[in-house]
Structure 1
């Protein structure tokens, strides 16, 4: 958890696998202090925690200038079981194959089958990856501190 008087920014294009120690040693944000930094999973995206309520619009990493965008957390969505609240790399149903349109367990990925569209999370008439699924929107608002 970040300190109350802090905010986060996201930087794209950082070499995947860069350790936190490497980020912290070579990061510079003119006009603000960096509290912490880390990579998001195996991506080329770094998340940086700044002291204060405003993130820098750019950072320097190994003296190269990178654009820094405000971090806007979204609900975690699993591409394995299509549930909200965790990602595929920690899915308790890893190795299973589920249809994102109806939630049915399949023997093989993308197996042809008959289905009625049914969301795994809310049982609404939309696929599990629907951007405006009510539980996903609620989780996103909670993560952004807009809902308790």
Structure 2
């Protein structure tokens, strides 16, 4: 953590008085803001939404410079990133905002870092609020960064420090097993679109669709309670199956891409270990020129490899050339 002292001016009796303010910089954190089904982000200018968030959070002029907000219209949520501790605390504590004179409820939580381990546990009663989860759940010798409920289910998503997933978690007096969290694409049960959940569906008050045939009904009407002719027809691909069929091929492909993207983010953000053995420049040996026989062998192998397998294995051949002619250690 790095402390940096900045200077503000307060006007007192027409005289500028310098006031020293300590800015505490931390590693950038992302706060996810869910506005629920009350707001369709695609229908509002992003500039107005971000300004409303800034006013509701009460950012200072210095905090505004360190906060970046992006609207994810497909997921119907807002992601705010900041490296200033005071700004992230204000964002995480945000519970409501006012947009165009309308008060909107906000659910805010800290997004998990890619190099943190995540797992799920099942069976926790639904009447336990999220703010009590950290006091109930404990893991031996592990620090729980965040805990939140997935939707309205009895499944709890845990974010832990470290790269490994524990086998067991203690919830109160109950010792239960964990399951690894597998990222996958979410599908709305109201509009049947892929990319957002039902609790943030932007069209929940306008209409809902039948999972079997994709027919559209008013938002206050349940399709399963309506007498209508139903035939299997997927709303997304028009195939002869239910829109929420777990065996839907395109859904499997989307889940696979989501897991690949999560793994790439984890590899990019994994901190490097700087405590490992370091090799000084004086101890590194310089490669010597290959002898005539070894040079001919490498040249022959290189030509056959390029002809059969392309130029990709040439890097391994270069390493083989060094191994055939080791340099003397000084």
Say yes or no: TM over 0.5.
yes
CA contact (8 A) 1:28 1:60 kept: yes
Question: Following TM superposition, by how much is the alpha carbon of 1:3 offset from its aligned partner in structure 2, in angstroms?
Answer: 2.1
Moved >3 Å (runs of 4+) = 17-21, 112-117
1:118 and 2:233 matched: yes
Where do 5+ consecutive residues of structure 1 fail to align? Answer: none
Instruction: Mark the CA change 1:124 to 1:62 in structure 2 (over 3 Å): closer, same or farther.
Output: same
TM-score w.r.t. length of structure 1: 0.80
Instruction: Mark the CA change 1:123 to 1:14 in structure 2 (over 3 Å): closer, same or farther.
Output: same
The SS at the match of 2:260 is: coil
The SS at the match of 1:25 is: helix
Alignment partner, residue 132 of structure 1: 247
CA contact (8 A) 2:151 2:199 kept: no
1:34 and 2:144 matched: yes
The SS at the match of 1:137 is: helix
Alignment partner, residue 201 of structure 2: 91
Equivalenced residues, count: 148
Instruction: Give the Cα separation in 2 of the matches to 1:17 and 1:75.
Output: 27
CA contact (8 A) 1:98 1:104 kept: yes
Structure with higher RCO (Cα < 8 A, 6+ apart): 1
Instruction: Give the Cα separation in 1 of the matches to 2:123 and 2:245.
Output: 27
**RMSD between aligned residues:** 2.5
Structure with larger Rg: 2
Question: Following TM superposition, by how much is the alpha carbon of 1:102 offset from its aligned partner in structure 2, in angstroms?
Answer: 2.3
Instruction: Mark the CA change 1:112 to 1:140 in structure 2 (over 3 Å): closer, same or farther.
Output: same
Alignment partner, residue 16 of structure 1: 126
Where do 5+ consecutive residues of structure 2 fail to align? Answer: 1-110, 265-330
Instruction: Mark the CA change 1:102 to 1:67 in structure 2 (over 3 Å): closer, same or farther.
Output: same
Instruction: Mark the CA change 1:57 to 1:123 in structure 2 (over 3 Å): closer, same or farther.
Output: same
CA contact (8 A) 2:149 2:156 kept: yes
The SS at the match of 2:160 is: strand
Instruction: Give the Cα separation in 1 of the matches to 2:231 and 2:136.
Output: 52
Question: Following TM superposition, by how much is the alpha carbon of 1:113 offset from its aligned partner in structure 2, in angstroms?
Answer: 3.3
Question: Following TM superposition, by how much is the alpha carbon of 1:135 offset from its aligned partner in structure 2, in angstroms?
Answer: 3.5
